[in-house]
Structure 1
Amino acid sequence: MINQVYRLVSARQFEVTYKDKILQSDQVVVRPEYLSICAADQRYYTGTRGKEAMSAKLPMALIHEGIGKVVFDRSGQFKVGTRVVMIPNTPMAVDEYCAENYLRSSKFRSSGYDGFMQDYVFLDADRLVELPEDINPEVAAFTELITIATHSITRFESKAHGRRDVLGVWGDGNLGYITSLLLKKKYPNSKIIIFGKNQYKLDHFSFVDETYQIDEIPKDITIDHAFEAVGGRGSESAINQIIDHIYPEGSISIMGVSEYPVQMNTRMILEKGITLIGSSRSGRADFIHTVDLMKEYPDIVDYLATLIGTVQSVTTINDIIQAFENDLTVSWGKTVMAWKI
């Protein structure tokens, strides 16, 4: 069959390419249904990844957050019509000490390899997780983002000490919202505090115990462990502010991505014996865990629906461009594309 792939060829310019795919294979064929735009996709779309990265990775189909319906599975593992979340990470090896999302050999869609902006996506069966029939598909579209928080919390549980009376989350954006929501569900008896820059964003965090703007934090606030979900240039001030307020021997889970080196107060990291936990992307286990959480706690999905900023119906390349351009103006939430092209 001929599959149409919608690739970014340069900043703000998409073209259709055609790939001949063989149906009689062991891969499952999925028709994308809802796709969600990520900040990483925007860096490629706007060309802000830099000339070297752009020339090395383009042309490339964007989007690594998405769900679809199975249209063909020769193995019979998935029934035709089954709604699934697609896992963008594709491991090429197995290492008992290194998770699939940290192996340098792994391929990640929309980061050097074609993402989900295609008529049909061909995936190995273990790159799919079945979704509940009644789940809100517009929320399910950004399941991959939710798994980032799930993965970080899993690493925190295995590496941080056991006192978890007060947990702080720095960052009032999408990832900060998701992380604090999952922490409150996971640790209902812990005090969850969110620290951010924008009061109108902090007002959305109705499920946490306390919120503070970062320039109005009381000096006596102390936290046991922290999660940094700021990213970019703001990572530096966030991490150093955490160092100031964290109790000795606490942990800092770093999730925010920065294109630039970040300076940290290493003297106080040493004096306080702080543990830094790096966390990036996610793997199959995190997708399974996340879907199980949404099944067990339907109210999580209700809260996450708050993050749906806009839904753009996509039937043409111009619609794709419009979705990305509109996303640049969204101050809160996610842009979801209803993929009908």
Structure 2
Amino acid sequence: MLNTVYRLVAPRRFEVAFNDIDLNGEQVVVRPTHLSICHADQRYYQGSRPMDVLAKKLPMALIHEGIGDVVYDPLGEFKPGELVVMIPNTPVEKDEIIGENYLRSSKFRASGFDGFMQDNVALDRDRVLRLPPDIDRTVAAFTEIVTVSVQALHRFDRFAHARRNIVGIWGDGNLGYITSLFFRYMYPDTKLIIFGTDKEKLNSFSFADETYLVWDVPENVEIDHAFECVGGDASQKAINQIIDLIHPEGAISLLGVSEYPIPINTRMVLEKGLRLFGSSRSSREDFEKTVEMYQKHPEILGYLSNIVGAQVEVKSIADMNKAFELDIHKMMGKTVMIWNK
């Protein structure tokens, strides 16, 4: 089966390529319908990754957040037209200790190999998961970033001690919003405080108990554990503020991505006996838990719809560029491509 792939060959330049999908194997063929742009995609699109990284990665099809309709399943487990979410992490081995999303051998769509900007995508069958047919497809498009938050919450449950009276989340962007929302539903009895830099964004965290601008935090505010969802250079200030406000032996979940090393106050990490742990990407189990949460708490989808930004119908390469350029200038929200290729 001849397939069309839309690869980024240089910053801001997409080109058409072709590959062949083998219909005689066991992979499930999915036609993407809704694709969501992530910060990682933008770093490739804008050429803000180091030159040696770009030279190694490109050309490559972008996007690792997406859903689509099943086109063909040689084993008949999935029926044509069924709505599924595509799982970008692609493990090639199993380890009894290390999760599939942390194995160095695992491949990841739109990082190590082609992402979902294709007419059709062939996926190993465990990389495809059914979605409710009536789900809001625009929201479901960014299920992958939701699973990243769910992965971090699973790790929090493993690493954080049992005193969870007050938890703080730093970051008022998309990742902070999603992590906070799912924390609220998974830990309803914990007091939740959001720390951010934009009053208007903080107003959207209606499910939190308190919100503060990071430069206007009352002196009596203290927390048991924390999540850092800031990333970039600003994560330095966020992490160090967390270290100042957290109780001894608290756990700090790091989710923000930075291209460069971030200095932190290790003296107080030692004095307080803190535990810092990182979370990245997600596993099939996280996708299953996320879809379960969608179905158990359908109001979550309503909250997530608040961070839907631009929706761009894509029929051409010009439309792809338009979507990415719009995404660069957004204040907040997820840009979703309605993939009508």
Matching of residues 52-131 of structure 1 within 5 Å: 52-131=52-131
Offset of residue 32 of structure 1: 0.2
Q: Deviations over 1:88-138 (max 9, x none)?
A: 000011110000000000000000200000000000110011001121100
Offset of residue 22 of structure 1: 1.9
Unaligned runs of 5+ in 2: none
Offset of residue 243 of structure 1: 0.2
Matching of residues 1-341 of structure 1 within 5 Å: 1-341=1-341
Q: Deviations over 1:163-189 (max 9, x none)?
A: 111010000000000001011111111
Question: Match of 1:192, SS?
Answer: strand
Contact 1:58 1:112 in 2 (8 A): no
Q: Deviations over 1:237-258 (max 9, x none)?
A: 1000000000111100000011
For 2:86, give the aligned amino acid: M
Structure 2 CA distance for aligned equivalents of residues 21 and 87 of structure 1: 18
Structure 1 CA distance for aligned equivalents of residues 35 and 82 of structure 2: 17
For 2:320, give the aligned amino acid: I
- What is the root-mean-square deviation of aligned Cα atoms in Å? 0.6
Offset of residue 25 of structure 1: 1.5
Question: Match of 1:49, SS?
Answer: coil
Structure 2 CA distance for aligned equivalents of residues 121 and 21 of structure 1: 8
Structure 2 CA distance for aligned equivalents of residues 189 and 176 of structure 1: 19
Percent of residue pairs identical: 57
Question: Match of 1:249, SS?
Answer: coil
Question: Match of 1:223, SS?
Answer: coil
Structure 1 CA distance for aligned equivalents of residues 107 and 219 of structure 2: 45
For 2:299, give the aligned amino acid: D
Structure 2 CA distance for aligned equivalents of residues 22 and 145 of structure 1: 29
For 1:118, give the aligned amino acid: Q
Offset of residue 332 of structure 1: 1.0
Structure 1 CA distance for aligned equivalents of residues 213 and 40 of structure 2: 26
Structure 2 CA distance for aligned equivalents of residues 133 and 233 of structure 1: 41
Offset of residue 35 of structure 1: 0.2
Structure 1 CA distance for aligned equivalents of residues 190 and 19 of structure 2: 51
Structure 1 CA distance for aligned equivalents of residues 22 and 56 of structure 2: 28
Structure 2 CA distance for aligned equivalents of residues 23 and 95 of structure 1: 30
Structure 2 CA distance for aligned equivalents of residues 56 and 218 of structure 1: 48
For 2:185, give the aligned amino acid: K
Offset of residue 79 of structure 1: 1.1
Structure 2 CA distance for aligned equivalents of residues 240 and 21 of structure 1: 49
Q: TM-score, normalised by structure 2?
A: 0.99
For 1:100, give the aligned amino acid: E
**How many equivalent pairs are there?**
341
Question: Match of 2:144, SS?
Answer: helix
For 1:313, give the aligned amino acid: E
For 2:202, give the aligned amino acid: L
Question: Match of 2:249, SS?
Answer: strand
Question: Match of 1:35, SS?
Answer: strand
Contact 1:66 1:85 in 2 (8 A): yes
Structure 1 CA distance for aligned equivalents of residues 189 and 139 of structure 2: 27
Question: Match of 2:247, SS?
Answer: strand
Question: Match of 1:248, SS?
Answer: coil
Structure 1 CA distance for aligned equivalents of residues 247 and 229 of structure 2: 19
Question: Match of 1:310, SS?
Answer: strand
Structure 1 CA distance for aligned equivalents of residues 108 and 334 of structure 2: 21
